[in-house]
């Protein structure tokens, strides 16, 4: 997958999902799906395929999530696999015509989509699958670059910290979103959590986010306040010279690796003058060696 913010196209085989929910008490929640996918990047396309006359109760939630509903005629008129074929055609057309889309998400457990996954990967696309544990084909699951089970969405991570008591509602909302975004980046195996990366993730999860609404002039002030409350640990990036979150949540209780401690000590240690060697105690540098242009080598 390319570096930077990915652009996602999401294709939902809704009939397959609905069949997976037949024997469950809960209903399919599209919000849980999208909240997980925005952690991967910016979603630019969202399409769902189904005969919506059969699943009308779900349409309102999908409309509210700004998902384009593709109407598929009844089986008697169009055949069993009409929704699958339409989804495949649209996905391949987008793969060839929209180069800026780097990631394709196939929300289904149907093994019939395995050739589509292979073709997308052949064209350099990152493919994520998402489906139900009981109704997902192993062939589809193993062919994707990554697969997410619906049942794993929304589970509370162990790194989540308890927010301090006494916070105003405004700050509590800002810190809660900050922690959710940091957890999302950790799930994506991001180690260096730079300020700009964190803020981009927060805005994807909540587009209306603005630090000024929560009483901060800059995003750096928000991070410094979170550090003051013991929620995160900050450092300065060596290249960007901006704030980087090194630890947060349960990580704060873990001891820093020796290499990390040594690196921080080196950064705090005053630099000696070039060519004069290490400074003596008291700050006095040793005398320079003769350079051979008038001095004696002794």
For the segment 154-178, what is each residue's pLDDT rounded down to a tens digit? 765 555 567 888 888 889 999 999 9
- 7-152 and 169-268 share one CATH topology? no
Q: Residue 281: is its pLDDT beyond 60?
A: no
Average pLDDT over residues 212-221: 93
Mean pLDDT of the chain: 81
Q: Residue 11: is its pLDDT beyond 70?
A: yes
Strands 126-131 and 68-71: unpaired
Least confident of 51-65, 104-118, 228-242, 284-298: 284-298
Q: The tokens of 217 are what?
A: 């002039």
Q: Residue 278: is its pLDDT beyond 60?
A: no
Write the CA distances from 199 to 169, 182, 262, 274, integer angstroms. Answer: 20, 10, 29, 39
Q: Given this model, what pLDDT does residue 252 score? A: 72
Q: Where are the domains of the chain?
A: 7-152, 169-268
Cβ contacts of residue 222 below 8 Å, gap of 6+?
174, 178, 211, 214, 216
Q: Given this model, what pLDDT does residue 117 score? A: 97
Report the C-alpha gap between 232 and 223 in whole angstroms.
Answer: 8
> Which has more pLDDT, 287 or 114?
114
Q: Residue 247: is its pLDDT beyond 50?
A: yes
Give pTM, 2 decimals.
0.70
Cβ contacts of residue 253 below 8 Å, gap of 6+?
none
Q: Is 255 exposed, middle or buried (0-12, 13-18, 19+ CB in 10 A)?
A: exposed
Q: Given this model, what pLDDT does residue 297 score? A: 47
Average pLDDT over residues 36-52: 92
Residue range 7-152 forms a domain whose CATH class is: alpha beta
Q: Given this model, what pLDDT does residue 78 score? A: 46
Q: Given this model, what pLDDT does residue 161 score? A: 62
Q: Residue 296: is its pLDDT beyond 70?
A: no
Report the C-alpha gap between 269 and 182 in whole angstroms.
Answer: 30
Topology (CATH level 3) of domain 169-268 = Arc Repressor Mutant, subunit A (1.10.10)
> Which has more pLDDT, 122 or 278?
122
Q: Given this model, what pLDDT does residue 257 score? A: 52
Please state, as a whole number, how many other Cβ atoms lie within 10 Å of the Cβ of residue 292: 8
Please state, as a whole number, how many other Cβ atoms lie within 10 Å of the Cβ of residue 260: 13
């Amino acid at each position: 997958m390319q570096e930077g913010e990915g652009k996602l196209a999401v294709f939902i085989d809704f009939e397959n999902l609905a069949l997976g929910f037949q024997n469950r008490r809960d209903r399919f929640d599209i919000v849980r799906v999208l909240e997980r996918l925005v952690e991967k990047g910016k979603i630019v396309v969202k399409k769902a395929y189904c005969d919506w006359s059969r699943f009308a109760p779900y349409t309102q939630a999908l409309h509210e999530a700004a998902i384009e509903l593709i109407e598929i005629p009844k089986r008697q008129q169009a055949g069993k696999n009409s929704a699958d074929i339409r989804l495949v055609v649209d996905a391949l057309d987008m793969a060839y015509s929209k180069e800026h889309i780097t990631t394709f998400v196939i929300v289904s457990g149907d093994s019939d989509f395995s050739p589509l996954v292979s073709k997308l990967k052949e064209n350099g696309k990152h493919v994520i699958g998402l489906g139900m544990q009981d109704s997902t084909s192993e062939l589809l699951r193993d062919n994707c670059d990554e697969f997410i089970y619906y049942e794993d969405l929304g589970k509370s991570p162990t790194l989540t910290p308890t927010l301090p008591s006494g916070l105003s509602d405004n700050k509590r909302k800002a810190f809660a979103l900050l922690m959710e975004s940091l957890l999302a980046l950790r799930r994506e195996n991001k180690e260096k959590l730079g300020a700009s990366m964190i803020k981009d993730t927060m805005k994807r999860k909540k587009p209306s986010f603005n630090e000024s609404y929560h009483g901060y002039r800059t995003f750096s002030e928000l991070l410094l306040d979170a550090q003051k409350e013991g929620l995160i640990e900050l450092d300065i990036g060596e290249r960007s010279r901006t704030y980087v979150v090194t630890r947060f949540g349960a990580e704060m209780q873990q001891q820093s690796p020796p290499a990390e401690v040594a690196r921080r000590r080196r950064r705090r240690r005053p630099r000696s003058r070039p060519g004069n060697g290490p400074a003596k105690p008291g700050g006095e540098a040793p005398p320079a060696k003769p350079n051979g242009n008038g001095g004696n080598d002794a």
